[in-house]
């Protein structure tokens, strides 16, 4: 099934509007146990998604229905699918909205993506990771893809982009005569960002050694907690999601433009900016998943929402015209040094089992796998077990951030984030 055939069928269908997303993925994968190849895989996948929009008879509501189809479907199948979609869309109508037009014109480079070379870079990098008798790679999995995506809409959008997406899954072990521990990490990126991943793995090895000697986390009741690893991204996603048109329209988020997001703020104030490009990110695109152009835009300045982001439907409902779904973002506003933020007493959490922030309620949770307890006298000791919990809507009132920043895939955030009054359940 050719996209141009689908376009022809959709134009003939009488649909109010339509969108086609045709994604071709060519990927290579390599799975390792220690440094021995467990399995190698290749994939060549095309996925075509069609969304049809219909207008109600009174012109006051719009419904949409979506179908995915493989590239080998016949023209007759596509014709019947579109007919079904028009019927289905009429059953699920929402308040009226319109698709966006093409926006500003821009040039898209037809980048040549060599998955063989990127795979080779990953394999070489991992073979040369410095290990020793205590810390070593247990296993890792390398995923490298070249993705070509074309988005066409009835409103004149027709953009084709080609981009690399890579993923490295690592399991680092550390052992001594009494026991062995592991740390699990995922690295999303465009191509192989050797230095960033190598540096982070070196830190993970050091953490592994400390985890071997870690004591049980004491019960601290309410304590100051510093987030100094990728888990801090979950904290900042709460703010990014709170600025999403869908969240605001659905009343899941109370954020309003021009009004500070919290009262009685004692700590730093957040500035959050969407970025079109962030070096090393897996999310560098010219357009979002609906074909809307992405650009740099300040979404929140000093805790005051300045602009909302989001997809077509909810942006229309919110009266936002030039919105997009951001891939990359950066957070600034920190005023503190690392030393100030790690001044004890404070619990610096490095690894959780699965740190989570419920972006609707603001609840945070995580079982501690490794943290450092910084005492007031400057002593530091590794601890493990127990958990942190609390609610970010309250905790953000006393949130302090470092001026130093770190990039985790598509997010450039403060390297150290300190929250006061977090509940710490001990493991003792």
Partner 1 sequence: MKTPFSDYLTSIAPSVKKIVNDLKSDHDYVSALCTDSKGLMVRIGHRSRTISNKTMTTERGVVFRVCRNKRYSEVALNTADWNDTDGVLAFVRAELAAQEKLLQETGTAIYETGVLDDEPFEFFGQKETGTLPEDADLEKLTAKLISLSDKGMEMGEDMIECIARVQSTHISKMFLTPARDLRQSYVYSEGILAAVVNKDGKVREDYKSISGIKGPELFEEMEGLLEDVVNGAEELLDAGPIKPGEYEIITSPEVTGLIAHEAFGHGVEMDMFVKGRALGAEYIGKRVASDNVTMHEGALCAEDVTSYFFDDEGVMAGDVTEIENGILRSGICDALAALRLGTSPTGNGKRENFAHKAYTRMTNTMFDSGQYSVEEMIASVEYGYLLEGMQSGMEDPKHWGIQCIIQKGREIKDGKLTGKVVAPVIMTGYVPDLLGNISMCSKDREVFGSGGCGKGHKEWVKVADGGPYLKTIGRLG
51-70: contacts with partner 1 (CB under 8 A): 63-68, 70
29 touches partner 1 by CB under 8 A: yes
Closest CA to 418 of 331, 330, 349: 349
Closest CA to 341 of 230, 267, 422, 237: 267
Q: Does residue 199 contact residue 207 with C-beta atoms inside 8 Å?
A: no
Part of the chain binding partner 1 (CB under 8 A), chosen from 99-107, 165-173, 233-241, 265-273 = 165-173
192 touches partner 1 by CB under 8 A: no
SS (H, E, C) 145-161: EEEEEEEEECCCCEEEE
Q: Which is nearer to partner 1, 335 or 361 (CB)?
A: 361
Which residues are CB-contacts of 179 (< 8 A; sequence separation ≥ 6)?
A: 212
Q: Which is nearer to partner 1, 329 or 352 (CB)?
A: 352
Q: How far is the CB of 106 from partner 1 (least distance, A)?
A: 29
Question: Binding-site residue total for partner 1 (CB under 8 A)?
Answer: 87
Binding mask 343-362 for partner 1 (x = CB under 8 A): ----------xx-x-x-xx-
241 touches partner 1 by CB under 8 A: no
Q: What is the helix, strand, coil percentage profile of the chain, to 5? A: 20, 40, 35
Q: How far is the CB of 69 from partner 1 (least distance, A)?
A: 8
In sign, the C-alpha dihedral spanning 33, 37, 38, 40 is positive
Q: How far is the CB of 377 from partner 1 (least distance, A)?
A: 26
423 touches partner 1 by CB under 8 A: yes
β-strands 380-384, 215-216 pairing: parallel
CB atoms within 10 A of CB 38: 12
The label of the residue with tokens 């005023």 reads: 335
Q: Which is nearer to partner 1, 40 or 337 (CB)?
A: 40
The label of the residue with tokens 């891939």 reads: 327
182 touches partner 1 by CB under 8 A: yes
CA–CA separation, 397 vs 264, rounded Å?
A: 7
Q: Which of 94, 114, 199, 213 binds partner 1 (CB under 8 A)?
A: 94
Q: Which is nearer to partner 1, 88 or 155 (CB)?
A: 88
Binding mask 373-402 for partner 1 (x = CB under 8 A): ------------xxx-x---x---------
272-301: contacts with partner 1 (CB under 8 A): none
Q: How far is the CB of 262 from partner 1 (least distance, A)?
A: 11
CA–CA separation, 261 vs 247, rounded Å?
A: 14
Q: Which of 285, 313, 336, 374 binds partner 1 (CB under 8 A)?
A: 313
CA–CA separation, 75 vs 68, rounded Å?
A: 14
Which residues are CB-contacts of 387 (< 8 A; sequence separation ≥ 6)?
A: 365, 366, 367, 368, 424, 425
Q: How far is the CB of 83 from partner 1 (least distance, A)?
A: 13
Q: Which is nearer to partner 1, 340 or 394 (CB)?
A: 394
Binding mask 245-274 for partner 1 (x = CB under 8 A): -x--xxxx-x--------------------
DSSP assignment of 89-156 equals: HTTSEEE--------S----------HHHHHHHHHHHHHT----SSEEEEEEEEEEEEEEEEEEETTS
80 touches partner 1 by CB under 8 A: no
Please, which residues bridge with residue 382 across strands? 372
Q: Which is nearer to partner 1, 220 or 342 (CB)?
A: 220
3 touches partner 1 by CB under 8 A: no
33 touches partner 1 by CB under 8 A: yes
326 touches partner 1 by CB under 8 A: no
146 touches partner 1 by CB under 8 A: no
């Amino acid at each position: 099934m050719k996209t141009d055939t689908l376009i022809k069928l959709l134009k003939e269908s009488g649909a109010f509007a339509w969108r086609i997303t045709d994604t071709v993925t060519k990927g290579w994968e390599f799975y390792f146990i220690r440094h021995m190849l467990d399995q190698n895989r290749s994939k060549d996948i095309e996925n075509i998604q069609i969304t049809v929009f219909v207008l109600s008879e009174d012109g006051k509501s719009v419904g949409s229905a979506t179908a995915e189809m493989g590239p080998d479907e016949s023209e007759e199948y596509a014709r019947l699918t579109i007919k079904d979609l028009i019927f289905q869309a009429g059953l699920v109508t929402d308040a009226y909205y319109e698709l966006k037009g093409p926006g500003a014109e821009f040039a898209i480079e037809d980048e040549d993506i060599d998955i063989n070379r990127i795979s080779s870079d990953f394999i070489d990098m991992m073979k040369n990771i410095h290990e020793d008798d205590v810390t070593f790679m247990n296993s890792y999995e390398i995923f490298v893809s070249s993705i070509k995506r074309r988005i066409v809409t009835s409103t004149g959008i027709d953009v084709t982009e080609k981009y690399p997406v890579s993923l490295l899954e690592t399991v680092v072990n550390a052992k001594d005569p009494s026991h062995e521990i592991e740390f699990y990490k995922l690295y999303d990126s465009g191509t192989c960002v050797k230095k960033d991943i190598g540096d982070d793995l070196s830190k993970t090895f050091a953490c592994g050694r400390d985890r071997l000697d870690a004591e049980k986390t004491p019960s601290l009741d309410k304590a100051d907690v510093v987030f100094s690893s990728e888990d801090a991204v979950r904290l900042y996603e709460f703010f990014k999601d709170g600025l999403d048109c869908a969240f605001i329209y659905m009343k899941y988020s109370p954020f309003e433009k021009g009004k500070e997001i919290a009262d009685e703020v004692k700590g730093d104030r957040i500035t959050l900016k969407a970025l079109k490009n962030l070096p090393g990110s897996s999310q560098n695109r010219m357009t979002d998943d609906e074909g809307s152009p992405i650009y740099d835009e300040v979404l929140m300045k000093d805790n005051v929402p300045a602009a909302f982001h989001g997809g077509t439907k909810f942006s229309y409902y919110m009266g936002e015209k030039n919105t997009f779904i951001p891939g990359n973002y950066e957070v600034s506003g920190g005023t503190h040094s690392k030393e100030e933020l790690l001044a004890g007493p404070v619990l610096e959490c490095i690894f959780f089992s699965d740190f989570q922030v419920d972006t609707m309620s603001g609840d945070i949770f995580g079982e501690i796998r490794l943290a450092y307890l910084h005492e007031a006298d400057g002593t530091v000791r590794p601890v493990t077990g127990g958990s942190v919990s609390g609610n970010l809507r309250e905790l953000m009132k006393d949130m302090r951030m470092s001026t130093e920043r770190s990039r985790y895939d598509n997010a450039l955030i403060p390297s150290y984030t300190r929250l006061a009054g977090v509940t710490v359940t001990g493991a003792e």
